[in-house]
Amino acid sequence: MLFSNNKLTRDEVLSRFFPRYTPVAAPPQNGLSGGSCILSDGRQKRVLRQPHDPHAPACDFRRQYHVLSRLPDSLAPAPVFYSPAWMVVEYCSGDVVNALP
């Protein structure tokens, strides 16, 4: 049987690819949506993301990964992992702004 990342659960992603990281046990953070959660290994933080629309084609989520990987780190979080159901990006601390200046 061929290995497939299509059906990985959050716990499988963490144990297989990020064994030192655990979800941060904190109240929901502003700016996170869907099944996103903040991960930490005690030194670094990352964000584990799921596609926002489960009915959207997988190419939409893959496109997000490719766009993020080409943007400068000062503009967008750098992606560090991709599978069809999950993406991990660097955590960017800062203020959540709801209005344009």
Check which CATH number belongs to the domain holding 46 and give it: 3.30.200
- Confirm whether 76 is domain-assigned: yes
Instruction: Please give the structure tokens belonging to residue 72.
Output: 């400068």
pTM of the model: 0.79
3-state secondary structure of 17: helix
Return d(Cα 94, Cα 39) in angstroms, integer.
16
- Confirm whether 2 is domain-assigned: no
pLDDT band for position 53 (cuts 50, 70, 90): confident
- Confirm whether 98 is domain-assigned: no
Q: Give the structural domain span for 79.
A: 16-90
Number of domains, the chain: 1
- Confirm whether 101 is domain-assigned: no
Q: Which residue carries 């993301």 as its tokens?
A: 49
- Confirm whether 6 is domain-assigned: no
CB 89 within 8 A of CB 78: yes
- Confirm whether 34 is domain-assigned: yes
- Confirm whether 1 is domain-assigned: no
Reference 52, options 33, 71, 65; nearest CA is 33
> Which tens digit of pLDDT belongs to each residue from 17-41?
999 999 985 555 555 666 788 999 9
